[in-house]
Amino acid sequence: MSANGIGASVRRKEDHRFITGKGSYTDDINREGQTHAYFLRSPHAHALIKRLDVAAARQAPGVVGIFTGDDLAADKVGGLICGWMIHNKDGSPMSAGAHPALAQGKVRYVGDHVAVIIAETYSQAKDAADLVEVDYDVLPACVDLASADSPGQPQIHDNAANNTVYNFHLGDKAATDAAFARAAHVTKLDLVNNRLVPNAMEPRAAIGDYNSGEDAFTLYTTSQNPHVARLILSAFIGLAPEHKLRVIAPDVGGGFGSKIFVYAEETVCVWAAKKVGRPVKWVADRTEEFLCVAHGRDHVTHAEMAMDEKGRILGLRVHTKANLGAYLSTFSSAVPTYLYAPLLSGQYDIPAIYAEVDALYTNTSPVDAYRGAGRPEATFVVERLVEVASRQLGQDPAQFRMRNFVKSWPHQTPVIMMYDAGDYAGTMRKALELADYKNFGKRKRESARKGMLRGIGFSAYIEACGIAPSAAVGSLGAGVGLWESAEVRVNPTGNVEVLTGSHSHGQGHETTFAQLVAGRLGIPIEQVSIVHGDTDKVQFGMGTYGSRSGAVGMSAIVKALDKIEAKAKKVAAFALEASEADIEFKDGRFSVAGTDKSLAFGEVALQAYIAHKFTGAQLEPGLKEGAFYDPTNFTFPAGVHICEVEIDTDTGVTQIAKWTAVDDFGTIINPMIVEGQVHGGIAQGIGQALIENAIYDKEGQLVTASFMDYGMPRAHDLPHLELGFNTTPAPSNPLGIKGCGEAGAIAAPPAVINAITDALGHEEIAMPATPQAVWKAMQKSAMKIAAE
């Protein structure tokens, strides 16, 4: 391993600008003559707009333009789209309601976009919004997920009967029913996966800029995937042809999925920039972010697991209702279907699985992918079932899991996935040792002496990353391929620019990708720059989400580097007057085998550009290669997280006393960065389990719409984290990377709840397990404690 190559904890190249205040986030960018947009939003969850009068507001100081849904319709601006077609059980397509960027006659959630006011300053735009007159005919709201498809509920979209987007299923119903028929024991659970708000620290923002001389637009935006945004804004919403729309996603302050999607605000900013003839900037305040960013999770599930008399799992049956909110966000339909049901086998060898998912509209913010996206929901179902089953059977939860783990690879699950590599039992053994599991009983007794309840909980998660083989996702309804692109540009002086379709918004690509390139080419890491986030620079890319940037994005770079090396060998052969077959490349030098003749990488780069040693007929000058990489399989990161909690019996406060994680991410490029990803994921998972909850009241008002009301984890809510790794390389990509970005958020919630229920002695607690909820649950345990 070189000092800066694969496997080294290289300090991040991007950090200098962030720690000195020189980052360039969207709101840090100011365009000459820019105006400021404020969106007038619906205060009602469900209402008809009877009258919308902007005349008075138009006269307000500083107002440059006011636009409504009628103006967008007049310009034939298309609605926002959902890019993944899901089919019902009967094969018919899902029912997607129209999703205009500005409301057309009806609003469907609090925060829905009614009008945009554009003014010289943000304050003037906001002041003018007060003068817009809107008469609403308020309709009853449908907010409760569990009953959203019941007869008599308010109808949110005319074309989605019973507020149902689709009734999806996956797996073999008959085989699963047969497994349950012969089961010796069945464990049943009703589970709620609570709704979360992603809350990247940088609120969403956009600047639309129109150049009338070129008839071309530029959009600066907080995006995880600028090319996908451009494609959607061009091909579906119809704002401009792709070659006349540049999308720049500069420094982006966190995403966690929420910045994958194309929202109303950036759509309107681009369109309005031409209408007003000046750049239009919009920056969400935190309340708008709470109201209008795509939320995550929000499932209610009934799940059953069948076992034989020895505790071998025979089958799994799951029925989930998934809340998709008031409109279908960009990839929302895929999350509770193909990112969820295929993960229901967990790490286990389960012969039969059948899952049904009803996706429903409600009068709430759209719901889409949030860190883990479907996989945390699946893991919560599987790992709660497994834990409870082991308790009901009186078996040790770790041993119960190990007995049922997949033990050989490749392993075909009954729900699409082909697990290709892993060592689940080895990971569990390592986790048990790191967690000092054998002495848990002693620690529990010590806690009891202090009057505290102690519990331990496991989570043996699996996820499908490396998203994704394009043909496979195409057959499942995806509207795009999910490959990645890379271009390696070697300059005449030997330094290198790598253009990637991945996008970094905290993941450290500028460092890890540079490690790969520097190690491969044998050049100092300082001579490598990673370029991303600009559609005018990078030809195309699918962006960063689903823990895909290492497995897919870096694999594309490997392919491009292969071509660079091949071309450079040809150049070196001419320069060294040798046969190409005799050229060897090692440690940054091209040498002629069996001689002392050699050239450094930089010298060969110069030869490629000056082209003095070969003719145009023999070889093209230059040294620049591109590649597209389409994965051949998903990757399957997996691991075991063990949580130990201590509960204060007087207050119900849960402290996480000990956290142990052993993960298998395949090859690790930069351990420091990977550990950071795990820390952040666990924090979000613990947040979901203990604190976070997006709550709408019966009228559809979001009552947790600020950091004062929504439980954002603070430093004192989180524990010290003990991490370990057990690596089996992914066989499906050249680097063996599986991905690490989402693991913690997937693993953590069931680990926490399993620990709390272990401490309580019963299963009746839902997320988030706030002190109040735990205290109430403890009252059920009181008899048991007294008896002890």
Partner 1 sequence: MPKISMTVNSKQVSATVEGRTLLVQLLRDTLRLTGTHVGCDTSQCGACVVHVDGEAVKSCTCLAASCEGAHVTTIEGLAQGGTLHPMQEAFREHHGLQCGYCTPGMIMAAVDLVNRKGFDLDEQLIRSELEGNICRCTGYHNIVKAIAAGAANMSAQPVARAAE
For tokens 């142990």, what's the residue?
Answer: 660
Any contact of residue 695 with partner 1 (CB under 8 A)?
Answer: no
Any contact of residue 130 with partner 1 (CB under 8 A)?
Answer: no
Closest to 219 (Cα-Cα) out of 228, 206, 235:
206
Residue with Cβ nearer partner 1 (10 or 482): 10
Pick one of 581, 617, 708, 787: the residue that binds partner 1 (CB under 8 A): 708
- For the chain, count helices (H), then strands (E): 19, 28
Pick one of 133, 285, 526, 587: the residue that binds partner 1 (CB under 8 A): 285
DSSP string, 239-304: SS-GGGEEEE--B----TTTTSS--HHHHHHHHHHHHHTS-EEEE--HHHHHHHS-BEEEEEEEEE
Lookup: tokens for 643: 């949580």
Q: Which long-range contacts (CB under 8 A, 24 or more apart) does 19-27 make?
A: 23/251, 24/250, 24/251, 25/202, 25/205, 25/222, 25/250, 25/251, 25/252, 25/253, 26/202, 26/205, 26/206, 26/207, 26/220, 26/221, 26/222, 26/250, 26/252, 26/283, 27/202, 27/205, 27/281, 27/283
Any contact of residue 712 with partner 1 (CB under 8 A)?
Answer: yes
Residue 5's Cβ-count burial label (10 Å; 0-12, 13-18, 19+) is middle
Pick one of 71, 112, 149, 202: the residue that binds partner 1 (CB under 8 A): 202
Any contact of residue 683 with partner 1 (CB under 8 A)?
Answer: yes
Choose the stretch contacting partner 1; rule: CB under 8 A; options: 98-106, 332-340, 517-525, 701-709.
Answer: 701-709
Choose the stretch contacting partner 1; rule: CB under 8 A; options: 137-145, 514-522, 669-677, 691-699.
Answer: 669-677
Residue with Cβ nearer partner 1 (10 or 148): 10
**Minimum CB separation from partner 1 for residue 745, in Å?**
10
Choose the stretch contacting partner 1; rule: CB under 8 A; options: 161-169, 180-188, 193-201, 444-452.
Answer: 193-201
The beta strands (E) that lie in 326-426 are given as 352-361, 411-412, 418-419
Q: Are 547 and 634 in contact (CB under 8 A)?
A: no
**Minimum CB separation from partner 1 for residue 328, in Å?**
25
Task: Classify 543 in phi/psi space as left (phi over 0), alpha (psi -120 to 50) or beta.
Answer: left
Choose the stretch contacting partner 1; rule: CB under 8 A; options: 427-435, 539-547, 559-567, 673-681.
Answer: 673-681
Pick one of 505, 532, 548, 624: the residue that binds partner 1 (CB under 8 A): 505
Any contact of residue 506 with partner 1 (CB under 8 A)?
Answer: yes
The CB density around residue 439, as the number of other CB atoms within 10 Å, is 9
DSSP string, 61-78: TTEEEEEEHHHHHHTTPP
Any contact of residue 253 with partner 1 (CB under 8 A)?
Answer: yes
**Minimum CB separation from partner 1 for residue 203, in Å?**
7
CA 83 to chain centre: 16
Any contact of residue 684 with partner 1 (CB under 8 A)?
Answer: yes
- Identify the H or E element spanning 173: helix 173-181
Any contact of residue 679 with partner 1 (CB under 8 A)?
Answer: yes
State how far the Cα of 397 lies from the Cα of 385, in Å rounded to an integer. 11
Any contact of residue 742 with partner 1 (CB under 8 A)?
Answer: no
Residue with Cβ nearer partner 1 (487 or 742): 742
Choose the stretch contacting partner 1; rule: CB under 8 A; options: 283-291, 302-310, 444-452, 751-759.
Answer: 283-291
Closest to 608 (Cα-Cα) out of 640, 641, 570, 552:
570
Cα atoms in the Cβ-side hemisphere of radius 13 Å centred on 201: 8
Q: Are 110 and 702 in contact (CB under 8 A)?
A: yes
Choose the stretch contacting partner 1; rule: CB under 8 A; options: 247-255, 326-334, 415-423, 763-771.
Answer: 247-255
Residue with Cβ nearer partner 1 (78 or 553): 553
Residue 722, beta-bridge partner list: 660
Any contact of residue 782 with partner 1 (CB under 8 A)?
Answer: no
**Minimum CB separation from partner 1 for residue 179, in Å?**
39
Task: Classify 62 in phi/psi space as left (phi over 0), alpha (psi -120 to 50) or beta.
Answer: left
**Minimum CB separation from partner 1 for residue 664, in Å?**
20
Q: Are 485 and 553 in contact (CB under 8 A)?
A: no
**Minimum CB separation from partner 1 for residue 507, in Å?**
7
Q: Are 694 and 701 in contact (CB under 8 A)?
A: no
Residue with Cβ nearer partner 1 (274 or 505): 505
3-class SS at 457?
Answer: strand
Pick one of 1, 174, 201, 581: the residue that binds partner 1 (CB under 8 A): 201
Any contact of residue 287 with partner 1 (CB under 8 A)?
Answer: yes
Any contact of residue 223 with partner 1 (CB under 8 A)?
Answer: no
- Identify the H or E element spanning 673: helix 671-690
Binding mask 15-44 for partner 1 (x = CB under 8 A): xxxxxxxxxxx-xx-x--------------
Any contact of residue 278 with partner 1 (CB under 8 A)?
Answer: no
Lookup: tokens for 94: 């899902």
Q: Are 784 and 761 in contact (CB under 8 A)?
A: yes
Any contact of residue 651 with partner 1 (CB under 8 A)?
Answer: no
Residue with Cβ nearer partner 1 (120 or 177): 120
**Minimum CB separation from partner 1 for residue 721, in Å?**
5
Pick one of 4, 8, 14, 344: the residue that binds partner 1 (CB under 8 A): 14
Pick one of 7, 62, 140, 676: the residue that binds partner 1 (CB under 8 A): 676
**Minimum CB separation from partner 1 for residue 65, in Å?**
21
Any contact of residue 526 with partner 1 (CB under 8 A)?
Answer: no
State how far the Cα of 96 lies from the Cα of 505, in Å rounded to an integer. 31
**Minimum CB separation from partner 1 for residue 682, in Å?**
6
Chain residues binding partner 1 by CB under 8 A are 11-12, 14-25, 27-28, 30, 123, 199-203, 251-254, 256, 285-287, 505-508, 672-673, 675-676, 679-684, 706-708, 712-716, 718, 720-721, 744
